[in-house]
Amino acid sequence: MTYILKPKMHHPDLPKNARGFTRRDYEGRVSTLCAGCGHDSISAAIVQSCFELDIEPHRLAKMSGIGCSSKTPDYFLGQSHGFNSVHGRMPSVLTGANLANRDLIYLGVSGDGDSASIGLGQFAHSIRRGVNMCYIVENNGVYGLTKGQFSATSDKGSKSKKGVENTESGIDLVALALQLGATYVGRSFSGDKDQLVPLIKGALSHHGPAVLDVISPCVAFNNHAGSTKSFDYVREHNEAVNRLDVILGRTPITADYAPGTVTEVTQHDGSTLRLRKLEESYDATNRIGAMNYLQERHAAGEVVTGLLFVDPDATDLHDRLGTTDVALNKLGTKELSPGAAALAKINDALR
């Protein structure tokens, strides 16, 4: 394991966003992952997304579990608090953090081992509970840190580096997320930044459980012929349903996109998702349609990418619980401790 300090010097001409931050302000430490790892591309996409969304770094908390993917929060957003927690349990830690302070943005980073195996229960329950979060699964179909075991998202019939064939059915986290009630569901590919950045921006702006399954080939253990999560396999089998751009309500940006059918979806926070439809029939606001489409394409051997579903009127856990607008961690003695007079009444009722 290396521990390398990155120079903090900024070039004075680096462009700044509306909050006065440069792209460098969103970077973290130097990655210690293998050269060419798909996860580093995702980290770069996160950096770009946060820069473009003008997020103040300290207003975002980055959470992860254990594994290669879960190490990455150290490699982006160095000025944000981060929490590298317990294997498979990031969703519960994120849920608690979110309950404590509803004012921050919560970015959960996980992997396929972390979310589909040991943490499948927490993945499922955080989604059905409606936690407001951007949950990114960096999905390589393999256990990298422990050197190449199949994960639960490995497709049945895919081969390990040693040539062993996986005989167990793969779990499709996107299909699960749709069924469990996620209100923003997308899939992308670490090697497709043009598609990935807008998806992340949309997820970070979404008010509710947003799940992104990002196929991210493992250069060490899962980027060979026979793997269904390799760069080549995904490029050949990618079936993008749409191209997405996010426009924040407060930022007037003129669209510079190729003509085509464009649908605008306004999210809870006022941001607008512009979906450039590649598939004429695809409607990203139809959950059942998304589930059917996903299954059909999967049966045809295709990996569907893009924004599969969004519910623009989504609610989150706080809405459901009816929590006060003030972050719970900002309440003081006066708001929390009912005092001696109230206690006297309680005592009386117990006599």
Partner 1 sequence: MPEHVTTAPLAAVNDFVVKFANVNGSGSASANGLFAKAIIRMGVPVSARNIFPSNIQGLPTWYEVRVTEAGHLGRRGGVDISVALNPQTWDDDVAEIVPGGYLFYDNTRPMPASKFRDDITVIGVPLTTICNEAYKLPRERQLFKNIAYVGALSWLIGIDTEVVEKVLAEEFASKAKLIGANIQAFNLGRTWAKENLKPIGLQLRHADAVGDRIFVEGNNAAALGAVYGGATVCAWYPITPSTSLAEGFMEHCEALRTNEDGSKRYAIVQAEDEIASIGIVVGAGWNGARAFTCTSGPGISLMNEFIGLSYFAEIPAVIFDVQRGGPSTGMPTRTQQSDLLLAAYASHGDTKHIMLLPADPSECFEMGAVAFDLADRFQTTVFVMLDLDIGMQEWLVEPFKWDDAREIDRGKVITFEDLEAGKEFGRYMDVDHDGVPYRTYPGTHPTRGAFFTRGTSRNRAAGYSEKGVDYQYNMERLLAKFATAARTVPAPVVRQAKRKTKSAVIYFGSTTPAMHEALEALETQGHHLDAMRVRAFPFPQEVFDFIHAHDEVFLVEQNRDAQLRTLVVTEGGIDPAQLTPVLHYDGAPITARFLIDAIGKRMSASNPIREMAE
Residue 114 has what DSSP assignment? I
Binding string, 96-125, against partner 1, x = CB under 8 A?
Answer: xxxxxx-xx----------------xx-xx
> Does 61 contact partner 1 by CB under 8 A?
yes
- Burial string for 175-210 (b: 16+ CB within 10 Å, else e) reads bbbbebbbbbbbbbbbbbeebbbbbbbbbbbbbbbb
Phi, psi of 110 (to 5 degrees): -145, 175
Closest CB to partner 1 among residues 101, 272: 101
Closest CB to partner 1 among residues 97, 310: 97
Closest CB to partner 1 among residues 179, 329: 329
> Does 30 contact partner 1 by CB under 8 A?
no
CB of residue 214 vs partner 1: minimum separation in angstroms? 22
Residues 122-141 that bind partner 1 (CB under 8 A): 122, 124-125, 129
Amino acid at 21: F
Residue from 38, 82, 111, 306 in contact with partner 1 (CB under 8 A): 82
Give the separation between CA 242 and CA 265, rounded to whole angstroms.
Answer: 13
Give the separation between CA 17 and CA 335, rounded to whole angstroms.
Answer: 38
Q: Which helix (H) or strand (E) covers residue 303, if one does?
A: strand 303-310
CB of residue 180 vs partner 1: minimum separation in angstroms? 12
Give the separation between CA 22 and CA 17, rounded to whole angstroms.
Answer: 6
> Does 57 contact partner 1 by CB under 8 A?
yes
Residue from 93, 204, 294, 314 in contact with partner 1 (CB under 8 A): 93
> Does 288 contact partner 1 by CB under 8 A?
no
> Does 295 contact partner 1 by CB under 8 A?
no
Give, in order, the Cα–Cα distances in Å from 52 to each of 32, 145, 200: 25, 32, 11
> Does 337 contact partner 1 by CB under 8 A?
yes
Could you give the angle at the alpha carbon of 59 between the alpha carbons of 56 and 61, nearest 5°? 125
Collapse the DSSP code of 270 into the 3-class scheme (helix H, G, I; strand E, B; otherwise coil) and give the result.
coil
> Does 329 contact partner 1 by CB under 8 A?
yes
Q: Which residues bind partner 1 (CB under 8 A)?
A: 1, 3, 56-59, 61, 63, 73-74, 78-86, 89, 91-101, 103-104, 121-122, 124-125, 129, 317-318, 321-326, 328-329, 331-333, 335-340, 342-343, 346-347, 350-351
